Amino acid sequence: MKYIAQKLGLFVLTLWAAVTLNFFLPRLMPGSPADAAIAKLSQNGPVTEATRAAIEAQLGVPTGSLWDQYLSYLHQVVTLDFGVSYTFYPQTVSSMVSTALPYTIGLVGIVTVLAFVLGTLIGVAAAWKRGTWLDSLPTLTGSFLSTFPYFWTALLLLFFLGYVLHWFPTTGAYAATSTPGFTAEFIGDVLLHAILPALTILITSLGGWIIGMRNAMINTLGDDYVTFAEANGLRGRTVAIRYAARNAILPNLTGFGLALGGVVGGSILVEQVFGYPGIGYLLFNAVIGQDYPLMQALFLMITVSVLIANFLVDILYGVLDPRTRR
């Protein structure tokens, strides 16, 4: 329990640090993002005082103490009020984010966990059968695929499976013709649209998990408890799974938490290529349109999601390692 409390404390602290970083980021930049944002917004029509205040709280104003700005920024974050987007005027940033978030969590979240589980299993097999084709094939393919830039994999799949073979739709999360709702038809459509982006993330992230687990398990296979287990005549499967792999999963899990940020980053590029209406695609559009309020809110969202995922990984680690329970 002490372990969980400790991790929770660390999580809250990291969360605060990330939120604060998000506050300082635009203020550290040359020029005045806030002025630029307001100027841009005024092209759409008159800017209300409330909107102006919201933007200034988020991006910084030349006047007013930093501390006051910080407080009103914190208030914004807590109430999830990020102001108005001006590329998608007059929608609020919050509503934009909440529309996009489910798609990203559904796609990136599920696929990442899937890739990790799959990669770990393959890594176990590779380490156990070290020096055979079962080792060299996944290791080499994995390390080759993991050097593919995310967006390139996406482009290749899109071109061959989308444009050339017409197996999958090429853009969006669902066809323009289908009506959103809880119908089997719509859900099937969504799944069909998700296959290519999911495949991209799977292909590019799998190799890292395979190699990570393989190396971790090669280490544990050299440990004394594995030798002792063999000396005691335990079955190969027991030695591989309950002794070698069970211990190797611990460092691999830590690696998973730390690599998560990279996967989420890569999926932004994937969403952009497939025009998939998630957080990444939105971020790209915000950047192109210099929509700073939206951009800031999205960055915060992405960071917070990764932090939460890391916290969950920490908890899982605590469950798996009895040494944390003392």
Partner 1 sequence: MTSTQNVRIPSDHTGDGIAAPSRWRAVGRMVATVWGNTKARIGICILGFFVVVAVFAPVLAPYGPKDNGFERNGAASWAHWLGTTAAGEDVLSQLMHGARISLVVGFAAGILSTIVAVLIGLSWGYLRGVASEVVGFVVNLFLVIPGLPLMIVIAAYLQNGGILMIIAVIVVTGWAWGARVLRSQTQSLRGRDFVTSAQFSGDGSARIVFREILPNMTSLITGSLFGAATAAILAEAGLEFLGLGDSSIVSWGTMLYWAQNSNSLLTGQWLLLFAPGLCIALLALSLTLINFGVDGISNPRLREGKGR
Partner 2 sequence: MSMTTPASGTVSAAENDVLLDVRELSVVYASPGMEPVQAVDRVSFTLGRGEFVGLVGESGSGKSTLGFALTRLQKAPAQISNGRILFGGRDIRELDAEELRRQRQGGFAMVLQSGMNALNPVRTIRNHFMDVFRAHGHVGAHERAGRAAELVQKVGLGPEVLDRYPGELSGGMRQRVSIAIALSLEPQLMVFDEPTTALDVLVQHAVMDTIQALQKSENFTAILISHDLGIVLEATERVMVMHEGRIVEDARSVDILERPQDPYTRMLLSHYADPRAETISIPGFVDMGTRKREGKARIDVTTTRPTVSARQARSADSAIVVEGVSKVYPAPRRGEEKVTAVSDVSFRLEPGEALALVGASGSGKSTLAKLITGVEKPTAGSIRFGDLDVTGLRRRALRELHKDVQMVFQDPYSALNPLHTVEYTLTRPVVNYTGLRGADARRRVLELLDTVGLTPVEQFAAKLPHQLSGGQRQRVVIARALASDPQVLIADEPVSMLDVSLRAGVLALLEDLREQWGVSMLYITHDLLSARLVTENILVLNRGRVVERGETAQVLRHPSDEYTVSLLDAVPNPARAKGAR
Residues that bind partner 1 (CB under 8 A): 10, 13-14, 17-18, 21, 25-26, 29-31, 33, 127, 130-131, 140, 143-144, 146-152, 155-156, 158-159, 163, 215, 218-219, 221-222, 257-258, 260-262, 264-266, 268-269, 272-273, 283-284, 287-288, 290, 295-296, 298-299, 302-303, 306-307, 310
Shortest reach from residue 132's CB to partner 1, in Å:
8
Q: Is the peptide bond before 169 cis (omega within 30 degrees of 0)?
A: no
Residue among 90 and 236 whose Cβ is closer to partner 2: 236
CB contact at 8 A, 163 and 155: no
- Of 24, 32, 59, 96, residue with least CA distance to 281: 96
Q: What's the closest the beta carbon of residue 28 comes to partner 1, in angstroms?
A: 9
Cβ of residue 227: shortest distance to partner 2, in angstroms?
6
94 burial type by CB count under 10 A (0-12 exposed, 13-18 middle, 19+ buried): middle
Q: Which is nearer to partner 2, 9 or 188 (CB)?
A: 9
**Shortest distance, CB of residue 223 to partner 2, whole angstroms?**
7
The CA–CA distances, whole Å, from 301 to 12, 19, 127, 295 equal: 15, 10, 37, 10
The yes or no reply on residue 229 touching partner 2 (CB under 8 A) is: yes
Distances (CA, A) of 59 to 25, 37, 105, 293: 9, 9, 27, 7
Q: Which does 231 bind (CB under 5 to 8 A by kind): partner 2, partner 1, none?
A: partner 2
Residue 89 or 152 having the CB closest to partner 1: 152
Q: Kindly give the residue spans of alpha helices, DSSP state H, lying in the chain.
A: 2-28, 33-42, 49-59, 66-78, 93-104, 110-128, 133-145, 150-157, 184-221, 224-231, 236-238, 246-274, 279-288, 292-320
List the one residue from 225, 258, 265, 308 that touches partner 2 (CB under 8 A): 225
Our finding on whether 322 is near partner 2 (CB under 8 A) is: yes
Q: Stretches 183-191, 233-241, 271-279, 304-312: which one binds partner 2 (CB under 8 A)?
A: 233-241
CB nearer to partner 2: give 160 or 228.
Answer: 228
Contact 243, 226 (CB under 8 A): yes
Q: Output the smallest distance, CB 258 to partner 2, in A.
A: 21
Identify whether the C-beta of residue 49 lies closer than 8 Å to the C-beta of residue 254.
no
CB nearer partner 2, residue 195 or residue 250: 250
Tell whether residue 8 is a contact of partner 2 (CB under 8 A).
no
- For residue 84, give the DSSP letter: B
- Scan residues 247-276 and list those touching partner 2 (CB under 8 A): 247, 250
**What is the H or E stretch that residue 323 is in?**
none
Which positions ≥6 away from 18 have C-beta within 8 Å? 300, 303, 304, 307
**Considering CB under 8 A, how many residues would be counted as binding partner 2?**
25
Give the three-state DSSP class for 177. Answer: coil
* Shortest CB 294 distance to partner 1, Å: 11
Of 186, 156, 160, 159, whose CA–CA distance to 173 is shortest?
186
Q: Is 321 in the site for partner 2 (CB under 8 A)?
A: yes
Please report, as ranges, the residues that interact with partner 2 according to CB under 8 A. 2, 223-225, 227-236, 238, 242-243, 246-247, 250, 320-323, 326
